[in-house]
Structure 1
Amino acid sequence: MPLFDGITATTVHTRRLATNVLTRTGQRTDGPVVVFIHGNVSSSLFWQPLMLALPEDTAAYAVDLRGFGGSEAAPVDATRGVRDFSDDVHAAVRELDLDRVHLVGWSMGGGVALQYALDHPVASITLQAPVSPYGFGGTRLDGTRLTGDDAGTGGGAANPDFVAAIAAGDTSRDNPLGPWAVYKSSYVSAGFTSADEDTWVESMLTTATGVGNYPGDSVPSANWPGFGAGTRGVLNTLAPGHFDVSGIAALAAKPPILWIRGDADAIVSDASAFDVNFLGQAGVIPGWPGEAVAPAQRMLAQTRAVLDRYAAGGGSYAEEVFAGAGHAPSLEQPERFAALLAEHVRSAA
C-alpha cells in the first residue's frame, strides 16, 4: 500500500474480520479521536493528507471497509443496508479501545457513519459528499420508493467495463472507463491535478469485485430500465429498500453534524451523473418513462431536509459548500477542510 511519510498501517483482528487501519505514526492518544470512513471504490489511503493535517493533539484512524484497501474481502449482506460496514467499524473501534469517537464519512462512508451513529454513541459526525439518507437512486424527494423492486438501483447500475478494469488492475490513462478516467471525471473537479493521483488510483484498485463485493448482484425488473436491486454486494447496500438512515433526525442524543460538499460534485447531487433516472432524463439511457414515473433523485435536497428535521429536534448541523470542488473536497481544498474539521471536533469535545 502506498503510505505517506507519517502514516502507519495496522491489521486489527476482530470477531468479524481482519481490518486494515491507518494511523499517524507515534500519534498522541490523550486528545480527541477521529475515525475516517472512506467511500465506494476507494480506501483509507484517500484520507492520508487530511490525517496528517490534523492538530497534534488529535488521534486519527482511517478504517478500510470490508472488500476495500487492506481489509478482508468478506462478502456483504446488502439486506442489512450498510450495517455490515458499520458493525465492522464498531468492532475495530472496540478492539482499539477507543472512546467517544468523532466520525468522518465520505460518500457511501457518510451513510456508514450515520448508521453507526444510529446504533452507537459518537462525539460528532462530519459528512463529506454523503449519500442521501434514503440511499442512491429510486426515491422521491420525501424518500418514498419509486418501485417495490427498486428498479434502476443496486448492482445492475454499475458499468461492467469499469468493473472489469478494476478486476484487471488497470492503471492506464487511455481507458475512458478505467479507474484513472473515472477518478479524473467524477472524483475531483475538471482541471484539478495532484502529485498523488497514482496513489488514489491504486486505492480504487483495492476494491474487491464480484457479486459478494463490488458491485453486487441484480434481479430482472418489469419496470424501466429492466433491473432491480439484488441482495448481495456493495451497491445493493444503498438500494432504498435496504438502506434508510433518515431516522437520525429522531436520535435521542444528537451529536453535532458538519456537512461538507463541493458544488461541482458529479456523483452526489440533485443531477447525479450516476443516477440511472437522471441519465434517462438526459437521454443517455433510452426509454425513460418520464418524470412522473422515474424522477431523478434530489440527493442534496433529501439530505438537507433530514438535517433540518435533525436541527428542529434539538440537534445542530452546518453545511459548508466548497466552490469549484468535486466529490472529494478534502483532496482539492485540504487546508480548509482540515481547519473546519478541527474546529468541529474541538467544539464537540
Structure 2
Amino acid sequence: MSSIRTRRVPTDRLTVQITETRDEGEPVVFVHGNVSSSAFWHTTLPLLPDHYRAIAPDLRGFGGTDPLPIDATRGLRDHSDDLAALLTALDVDRVHLVGWSLGGGVVMQYLCDHPAAVRSLTLVNPVSPYGFGGTHGVDGTLNSEDGAGSGGGTANPEFVTRLAEGDRGEDSPTSPRSVLAACYVKPPWRPEQEDENTYVESMLTTRTGDDHYPGDSVPSPAWPGLAPGTRGVLNCLSPVHFRIDALHLVDPKPPVLWIRGEDDVIVSDTSMFDLAHLGSIGAVPGWDGTPAQPMVAQTRHVLDRYAAAGGTVREVAVPDAGHAVHLERPEEFRAALLGILSA
C-alpha cells in the first residue's frame, strides 16, 4: 500500500482523482464498479511488476472526482469520455484497460469509441453488454420498449437512504457494510478489518440523488411498474441507453480477458439485483412471468461473436468467489491479468 499515491488531475471535462503507482511504464488503467471507488483497486495496483504504470481513477460521482451530473441518455459515454479526457491529460495514448462491474461496461464503451488506443481489455465480473435489468435472451431483447425493470427505480430505497446517511454499521441487511459482506464478496469471506473499513468508506463516497445514484425513474404500464429516467448511474446502465451490439466490429481487436467469480450474486443469470429474478422467487410482488436477465450468457454471446470475428478471448471462471474476484482471489487474478498484459 505504501507504493501507491493519490492525486487530482484537471482535464478538459472535470477534475479526476486517481490512485497510481508510478509516473513511467506501460499504462494499465483500472476502472471501478458502482457504489465504490478506486479504493477497491488499492490492493491490486502494487501487484503489477515495476515496468507497468497502474492508474485507477474515480468515476464522476464517486471517490474524489468532481460529482458532475450523469446524462444517462448517453449510456456510459459520460464515463468513457471522462476516461479519454483523463488519458489525454496524462499524455497516455495507448493503454491496457481493466474494468470491474460497472467499470467493465465503461471499458467496453471505450473500446468501441477508441479501438486503436486499447492494447488489451480485461473484464472483471462485468455488467452485461446489454445493460442491467429489463432484457431477456442472449441477444438482450427488451422486455418492454420503455425498459421497465431497469434504471433508477430498481434500487432498494432503504439501501439508498443508509448510503446517503453514511451508515457504517451492520445492524441491517441493507447497510453498505452488510451489502459488501453479502454481495460484493462470497460469504463467509471478509476483507481484513482495516481493508473492510476502507471499502465501506469507499462505498459511502457515492453521491446520491437523481443526478447520481440511483437516478430518476418514470411510471410504466409494464411490470414492475417503473421504467428508467434520463439521469443517474442506474439509468446509464439501462438497456434503453446502454447496449454494446457491435463489439465484434471494432478494428483493431485487442485481446480480451473475461474473469469472474462463479458465485457472483450481482452479475449473474439469476442476479439478486434483477427484479425479474427476485419476482420469480417471490421476493418482489406481482411478478407476471417476466424472465430473468441472463447476464453471464449475454456477455458470453457478445464475446463469442468477437472471437468469431477474429478477436482473442479468454474466459476464466474462478470457483468459490463472488463479485469482487480481484479481492477474494488476488493471486489467481494477478496471474490471469499478467497473462493478457504480456500477450
What is the TM-score with the length of structure 1 in the denominator? 0.95
Tell me the alpha carbon deviations over residues 133-155 of structure 1, each in whole angstroms, 9 at most, x when there is no partner.
00001112121211111111100
User: Could you say what secondary structure the match of 1:180 adopts?
Assistant: helix
The 8 Å contact of residues 79 and 242 in structure 1, kept in 2 or not, is answered as yes
Corresponding residue of 2:54: 60
Counterpart check, 1:138 vs 2:106: no
Aligned residue type for 2:280: Q
- Residue 41 in structure 1 maps to residue 41 in structure 2: no
1:84 to 74, 78, 89: 78
One-letter code aligned to 2:328:
E
The alignment status of 1:174 with 2:206, answered yes or no, reads no
Residue 28 of structure 1 deviates from its aligned partner by: 5.6
User: Deviation digits for residues 72-123 of structure 1, max 9, x if unmatched?
Assistant: 1100000000000110011001100112100000001000000001111200
* SS of structure 2 residue aligned to 1:246: coil
CA drift at 1:220: 0.3
* SS class of match (2:315): strand
Which consecutive unaligned segments of at least 5 residues does structure 1 have? none
2:253 is the alignment partner of 1:254: yes
Superposed, which structure 2 residues align to 1:154-169 within 5 Å?
A: 154-169=151-166
Please name the residue that 1:229 is paired with.
228
Aligned to 1:206, what secondary structure does the other structure show? coil
2:260 and 2:136 mapped to 1: Cα distance?
21
Aligned-pair CA distance for 1:189: 0.3
Q: Which residues of 2 match residues 1-349 of structure 1 at below 5 A?
A: 4-24=1-21, 27=22, 29=24, 31-120=25-114, 121-141=117-137, 142-195=139-192, 196-290=195-289, 294-347=290-343
The Cα shift of 1:21 comes to 0.6
Separation (CA, whole Å) in 2 of partners of 1:295 and 1:304: 18
What displacement does 1:246 show? 2.6
Give the SS at the match of 1:123: strand
Q: Distance in 2 between matches of 1:73 and 1:98?
A: 24
Deviation at 1:314, TM superposition (A): 0.4
Q: Distance in 1 between matches of 2:244 and 2:9?
A: 27
The AA in structure 1 aligned to 2:188 is G
Q: Which structure 2 segments of 5+ residues have no match?
A: none
Aligned residue pairs: how many? 338
Q: Is the 8 A contact 1:32 1:345 kept in 2?
A: no
C-alpha separation in 2, matches of 1:28 and 1:218: 42
Query: Which stretch shows the higher mean deviation, 138-147 or 122-131?
Result: 138-147
Distance 2:223 2:190 in 1: 38
CA distance in 2, matches of 1:230, 1:187: 26
Q: Matched residues in 2 for 1:110 and 1:193: separation?
A: 23
Whole-angstrom CA distance in 2 between matches of 1:322 and 1:286: 34
Give the Å deviation of 1:223: 0.7
8 Å contact 1:28–1:58 — kept in the other structure?
A: no
> RMSD of the TM alignment (CA)?
0.9
TM-superposed deviation, 1:129: 0.3
How far off is 1:283 after superposition?
0.8
Distance of 2:172 and 2:2 partners within structure 1: 31
Distance 1:158 1:33 in 2: 35
Runs of 4+ residues over 6 Å off in structure 1: none
Give the distance between the partners of 2:284 and 2:330, measured in 1 at CA.
36
Identity of aligned residues (%): 54
Query: Deviation per CA, 1:150-190, whole angstroms, max 9, x where unpaired?
Result: 11110000011111111111111212211000001100001
* Structure 2 Cα separation of the partners of residues 165 and 28 of structure 1: 38
What secondary structure does 1:176 align onto?
Answer: coil
